[in-house]
Chains A and B, each alone.
Chain A
Amino acid sequence: MKILDPLKIRQDFPMYRHDSLFEGRPLVYLDNAATTFKPYSVIKEGDLYYEDITANAHRGDYSLAHEVDVAYEGARKEVADFINADVDEVCFTSGDSMGMNEIAYGLLPLLKTGDEILLTFAEHASNVLPWYQVAKLTGAVVKFIPLDKEGRVTIDNFKSVLSNKTKIVSLASVTNVLGFLLPVKELCALAHSVGAIYVADGAQSVPHHKTDVKDLDIDFLAFSGHKMLGPTGIGVMYGKKKLLEKMNPLFFGGEMNARFDSCGYVSLSDVPLKFEAGTQNISGAMGLGKACLYIQKIGFDAIEEHELKLKKMAVEGILSNGNATIYNQNCEGGIITFNIDKVFAQDAASYLGSKGVFVRSGQHCAKILPEFLNTQATLRASLYIYNTEDDVKALIEACKHAEDFLDVFFN
């Protein structure tokens, strides 16, 4: 297996171009679950659209427009290969949230009073709020799969709530707060055994773990580009072709229809274009294609090993400081969710920030999770391919005296 060299990787990222310094100090960026830095190849590809081949996609009969179509559809192919989908099963969106809304509203006609939608307490708002809306409109009920003591979804717990009433199971394959990796393939097979549709929220899993939609057999998948080295404002909704063909789009407008008349007749474009109303984020899609290539070149085995190694080091170091509680010690990915004892998360995050260590504080958009964790808010450090052992050491060192969080304002 290839070993990942974060220092070599940093050479590809302009954010590290000033000797990995920010405001004169080492740049310790540990908020990758929120968004990631972008490599030159992604930025250049996005710029290429604006600098060299600007025209609309799927609309022109001239050579310049053809170049755009080739680039845009080429990006779709790169994304499709990345998740092992067929190319016409990849619909571009603005990001994970838009994808989840497209899916939830698209599946709305399947739901009736008393039908059940299964989620967990650890879901991000993007995988809770669309379902609340759809439940309200249809009379369906949102139910939560109980988490085990550690915060995991287990097969047994899933079975305990799965029934013939279950119509949709929608779960983040990796949750953004606890970072546990779900046994997606098994959960999906169980969901199918009662005739339910399985939706995977891949925002936190697709950037860090291999996603093979055919092998997993999932029905839908949504994810964002910006959390996987890609541009902001671009994401993907994957759906099995036969489901996408039956599903109604959430957005109607330009390019997604073949023809319509004054009597209200509308004939929609084929999948995936019927889900891409209006002029798309062409530059973003092209950049995302290159982000997929970049990640593939590094390889998921190397990424997982690197993140896990750094995560273990962080967990050991923070625990040995003796002043913190970690909520997800055993998670499989590069997310460390913790609190400095007796220090409110936001005070601690400001303090760490003043030491040049950038982590997130809050509920991380998983606003029902505190009911499970018994804390108002947490700190979250999240790792990626360009993080180094030095980054982790800086985190551990900064946490050591975080009780002195008011130093931020007085020293």
Chain B
Amino acid sequence: MSFSINNPEMMREIIMDNYQNPRNVAVVDDKNYITIHMDSASCIDDIYIQVLIKDGKVSDCKWHGKGCAISTASTSIMSEMILGKTIQEADKMMAEFNKMMAGEPYDEETLGEAICFANVNRQPSRITCANISWRGLKKAFDKEEKKDE
């Protein structure tokens, strides 16, 4: 059976795999990267997201920090999804992800593996775990936009 919202076993596996073997974890010391620090008083998540934007595209995305399974796996998956995408394309993914979190209809194809978080909103307090990296990415894009002003 292929990966889809109807295959909960595979969704679980993707979360666990990205939690235990998170992708794109590194500390980048390069001023060309936009670095966003995401932490909050109400949870332990303490995550740094670093993106390199070239010619309107995400040419690299690295991250590091500490978080729960949901925030770790979601950040890992996002870091893979947005690689090589234009800001507009990544924005579209973010919008679809947010719709999924809000329980609204969303485009499965755009989200790919990230649909494994479709059920997170069963525990409303955990939505902030699943979208922490997307919120960070938005801040990074805002920063990039201001740079040009």
Contact = CB atoms under 8 A, between A and B. Distances in A.
Contacts of B119: 409-410
B44 A410 contact: no
Contacts of A405: 69
Given A344-B68, A347-B70, A406 B123 contact: no
B138 interface: no
Contacts of B42: 362
Given A376-B44, A377-B44, A350 B123 contact: yes
Interface in A339-368: 343-347, 350, 353-354, 361-363
Which of B11, B16, B68: most chain A Cβ within 10 A?
B68
A194 interface: no
A40 B2 CA distance: 56
Interface string B14-28: 011000000000000
A7 interface: no
A347 B69 contact: yes
Contacts, number: 43
A347 B12 CA distance: 14
B8 interface: yes
Contacts of B16: 406
Contact of A409 (B66, B68, B122): B122
Contacts of A346: 43-44, 68, 126, 129
A98 to B, nearest CB: 18
Nearest to A350: B123
A216 interface: no
Interface in B124-149: 125-126, 129
A405 B12 CA distance: 10
A345 B120 contact: no
Interface residues of A, number: 18
A345 B8 CA distance: 23
Interface residues of B, number: 20
Contacts of B12: 406, 410
B68 A347 contact: yes
A408 interface: yes
A360 to B, nearest CB: 11
B67 interface: yes
B70 to A, nearest CB: 7
Contacts of B123: 350, 353-354, 408-409
A362 B42 CA distance: 8
B6 to A, nearest CB: 12
B66 A376 contact: yes
Nearest to B8: A410
Contacts of A345: 44, 68
A345 B12 CA distance: 18
Given A363-B44, A406-B15, A410-B8, A344 B69 contact: yes
Contacts of A363: 44
A350 B12 CA distance: 16
B122 to A, nearest CB: 6
Nearest to A342: B20
B122 A408 contact: yes
Contact of A350 (B15, B67, B125): B125
Contacts of A350: 123, 125-126
Interface string B64-77: 00111110000000
B120 A409 contact: yes
Interface string A395-411: 00000000001101110
A293 to B, nearest CB: 34
Highest count of chain A CB atoms <10 Å: which of B16, B44, B122: B44
A195 B33 CA distance: 54
Interface string B27-52: 00000000000000011100000000
Nearest to B121: A409
A345 B68 CA distance: 8
Nearest to B12: A406
The residue among A343, A346, A353, A410 with the most chain B CB atoms within 10 A of its own CB is: A346
A312 B85 CA distance: 55
B16 to A, nearest CB: 7
Interface in B59-102: 66-70
Nearest to A378: B44
Nearest to B16: A406
A406 B44 contact: no
Contacts of B8: 410
Interface of B: 8, 11-12, 15-16, 42-44, 66-70, 119-120, 122-123, 125-126, 129
8 contacts: A343-B69, A346-B43, A346-B129, A361-B44, A362-B44, A408-B122, A410-B12, A410-B119
Interface of A: 343-347, 350, 353-354, 361-363, 376-377, 405-406, 408-410
Given A406-B16, A410-B119, 10 more contacts: A343-B69, A345-B68, A347-B70, A350-B126, A362-B42, A362-B43, A362-B44, A406-B12, A408-B123, A410-B8
Interface pairs A-B: 8 shortest CB-CB: A409-B119, A344-B68, A346-B68, A377-B44, A410-B8, A347-B69, A347-B68, A406-B12
